[in-house]
């Protein structure tokens, strides 16, 4: 006998994804398998995650514009490569040697 069909509200999947919930957590909450969520809503998951990342970036940018020093430092490191590991580009000379046989 086949399993009973479970209707999954796409709005709930979208809302949980925008909060940062992984597919496994959404599946647990809705009482279905993770593969069901991934199979039925791949585009919705991808779009919702993209929207979430864009909103986070917007929030970070607004914090930086408002003068948040920690956010300015973070964005400088992430966006401009101004971290401690950042080193000035070194001029390297590559020497080729001809091997005579």
Res 91: pLDDT? 60
* Distance of alpha carbon 94 from alpha carbon 97, whole angstroms: 10
**DSSP letters spanning 81-92:** --STT--PPPP-
What average pLDDT does this structure show over 25-44?
96
Is 60 exceeded by the pLDDT of residue 96?
no
Angle at 99 between CA 93 and CA 101, to 5 degrees: 180
Q: Which residues contact 84 (CB under 8 A, 6 or more apart)?
A: none
Burial of 26 (0-12, 13-18, 19+ CB in 10 A): buried
What is the pTM for the complete model shown? 0.67
Residue 16: pLDDT band (50, 70, 90) is very high
Closest CA to 27 of 42, 11, 43, 16: 16
Query: Measured between alpha carbons, how far is residue 95 from residues 47, 90, 92 in Å?
Result: 49, 16, 10
Least confident segment among 16-30, 51-65, 72-86: 72-86
């Amino acid at each position: 006998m086949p399993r009973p069909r479970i209707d999954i509200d796409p709005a709930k999947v979208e809302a949980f994804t925008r909060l940062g919930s992984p597919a496994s957590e959404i599946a647990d909450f809705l009482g279905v398998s993770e593969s069901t969520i991934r199979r039925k809503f791949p585009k919705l998951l991808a779009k919702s995650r993209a929207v979430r990342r864009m909103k986070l970036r917007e929030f970070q940018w607004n914090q930086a514009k408002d003068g948040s020093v920690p956010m300015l430092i973070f964005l400088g490191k992430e966006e401009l490569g101004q971290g401690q590991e950042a080193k000035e580009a070194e001029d390297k000379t590559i020497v080729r040697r001809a091997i005579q046989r």
